[in-house]
Amino acid sequence: MIRIDGSYLEGGGQIVRGAVAFSALAGVPVEISNIRKNRTNPGLAPQHIAAVRAVAGICGAECTNLVPGSTDIVFSPHDLTVRDIVIDIGTAGSIPLVLQAWLPVALAVGGRITVTGGTEIQKSPTIEYFDAVFCETLRNQGAEISVEVHERGYYPRGGGRVTVHIHKKELRALSPETSSEPVRIFSCSSRLPAHVARRQAAAAARRLSGTPATCTIDTREGPSAGSSCTVVAGRKGGVALGRRGYPAEAVGTDAANAFLEAYAEPGLADRHLADQLVIILASAGGMITTTRPTDHTKTMCRLAAAFGHDISLRERPGSIWEMAA
């Protein structure tokens, strides 16, 4: 049994998601205590429970205290098995964060999952970032991953629905090699006039100051109203969400600004992708470069060490950080 202090550093849901994923891959039980101890509402929220259930679905894990508000759980995995999993978060909780927990485990055996909740939520990657940055990075290393957005879900109602299908493939080690990647703009909305998404995209394109960019506009309907704009290139991205009374042009500009800030930082992987790739480095090996590690990244490296993986963090000249297994 490996014991993890859930209040370490970042002290949030990332520790829970990462710990159960590492546990499933290692086939070793884990006990997580002090979950979100220092948050305004300590303990598990529906989104965290959904992530644990998603990972448990692959490995038939037994879970104790997996209820809202719980600050201590035990996750006891069994053998990994290809399964078709259906998860309803029950709120507008983040679908991409649930998928972040499930995907590294599913890469080992393959499988499919459908999750209902929020596709674009505050303090979470959009589903476009998840697909075009995280999944695309893995596809470049040999993964076969498909992401299908059936409906979009926004706070507070949620109701978005996404299916991800993975075929078992041998991943190549992560590499810091550079490549010329086009800039892509994804502007999305649900239950809003179609011009909202078009205006977001146009504003993002203007802020990019003539940088060639492809644009995808998605105005499919869902049960909740909202909008988002995501700008990506290679292993970096920026996102922004619409809100009542906030101009569509401001949303597009915010997304472009977030992307430009990430693009200007040292390293090839942005700070948000870096923490997601720690468990991939532990499984597939290799090395990536990024900017100064966040608490999320340091937390994931500590989790990796608890499960026997040595992920090194080293600063190179030019404020570039190297993360290697």
Q: Which of 108-117, 172-181, 202-211 has the lowest mean pLDDT?
A: 172-181
- Number of domains the chain contains: 1
Planar angle of CA 108, 136, 143, nearest 5 degrees: 30
Per-residue tokens: 158? 């949620």
Per-residue pLDDT at 142: 95
> Is residue 118 within 8 Å of 158, Cβ to Cβ?
yes
Range of the domain at 169: 2-173
Per-residue pLDDT at 40: 84
CA 164, 26, 9, 4 torsion-angle sign: positive
Per-residue tokens: 27? 């086939």
Per-residue pLDDT at 59: 97
Per-residue pLDDT at 37: 87
Residue 17 lies in a domain: yes
Residue 253 lies in a domain: no
Does residue 16 have a pLDDT over 80? Answer: yes
Does residue 177 have a pLDDT over 80? Answer: no
* Residue 48 designated active-site: no
Does residue 218 have a pLDDT over 80? Answer: yes
Q: Which of 58-62, 261-265, 300-304, 314-318 has the lowest mean pLDDT?
A: 314-318
Q: What is the mean pLDDT of residues 195-210?
A: 95
Q: What is the mean pLDDT of residues 203-207?
A: 96
Confidence band for 11, pLDDT divided at 50, 70 and 90:
confident
Confidence band for 210, pLDDT divided at 50, 70 and 90:
confident
Residue 93 lies in a domain: yes
Whole-model pTM above 0.85?
yes
Residue 143 lies in a domain: yes
Residue 250 lies in a domain: no
Per-residue pLDDT reduced to its tens digit, 220-233? 888 999 999 999 99
Q: Which of 3-7, 174-178, 189-193, 271-275 has the lowest mean pLDDT?
A: 174-178
Residue 138 belongs to domain with CATH number: 3.65.10.20
Does residue 148 have a pLDDT over 80? Answer: yes
d(CA 305, CA 13): 18
The one catalytic residue among 48, 78, 195, 296: 296
Per-residue pLDDT at 47: 95
Does residue 169 have a pLDDT over 90? Answer: no
> Is residue 56 within 8 Å of 64, Cβ to Cβ?
no
Residue 54 lies in a domain: yes
Confidence band for 92, pLDDT divided at 50, 70 and 90:
very high
Residue 189 lies in a domain: no
Residue 127 lies in a domain: yes
